[in-house]
Each structure stands twice: as structure tokens, then as C-alpha cells.
């Protein structure tokens, strides 16, 4: 299993996450490589730290808020890239 699929499963079981809607390359697992990012929309039920939710320390981070949706682009220290759109609470 690729890291994107493992992280997606982690997000689905996280206490702060209500709903998970993946999009992008994770929907075509045969085309994933270790450099593909993970794109996902989340409904958060509580504020949560990125390192807790993603299971790694953010190295680079960009966050914007637009019409109640927080868009977060992050690169973790190990090189994994995750793009999130969160609603309901903040990351």
C-alpha cells in the first residue's frame, strides 16, 4: 500500500475528522508513485494540529481561508505532500 492510501485510512479514523472526500491521483492507485501528493477534503469536528492529523512534522505550510473553507498545502519533513480543504474546524 502506498503512503497516500495509508494516510487516507489514518484520516478516516481520526477522532477530529467527520467526513473524508479524497480526489485526484489517490483515486487511481495504479498510477500512484511515492512523489504523488494526497488531495482530500475533510469535515473536521474539532480543531486539530497538522502533525497529529498527518502523522508527521510539517516542513512547509501554506494556509488560506475562503468562504469558510481552509485550504492547506503542506510538505512534511519526509517529503510527503498533502493538499487539504477543511470545513467545520481548523487545522
Mean pLDDT of 63-89: 96
- Are 18 and 88 spatial neighbours (Cβ–Cβ below 8 Å)? yes
**Measured distance CA(34)–CA(13) in Å, rounded:** 22
Q: How confident is residue 30, by pLDDT bands cut at 50, 70 and 90?
A: confident
| pLDDT score at 29 | 85
CA distance 65 to 79: 24
Residue 24 has pLDDT above 80, yes or no: yes
31, pLDDT greater than 90: no
pLDDT at 34: 86
C-beta neighbour count of 46 within 10 angstroms: 12
* Higher-confidence position of 32 and 6: 6
Task: Check if the beta carbon of residue 28 is closer than 8 Å to that of residue 36.
Answer: no
Amino acid at each position: 500500500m502506498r503512503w497516500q492510501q495509508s494516510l487516507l485510512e489514518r484520516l478516516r479514523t481520526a477522532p477530529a475528522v467527520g467526513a473524508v472526500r479524497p480526489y485526484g491521483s489517490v483515486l487511481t492507485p495504479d498510477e500512484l508513485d511515492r512523489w504523488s501528493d494526497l488531495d482530500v477534503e475533510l469535515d473536521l469536528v474539532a480543531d486539530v494540529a497538522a502533525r497529529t492529523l498527518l502523522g508527521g512534522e510539517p516542513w512547509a505550510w501554506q494556509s488560506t481561508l475562503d468562504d469558510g473553507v481552509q485550504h492547506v498545502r503542506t510538505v512534511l519533513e519526509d517529503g510527503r505532500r498533502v493538499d487539504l480543504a477543511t470545513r467545520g474546524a481548523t487545522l
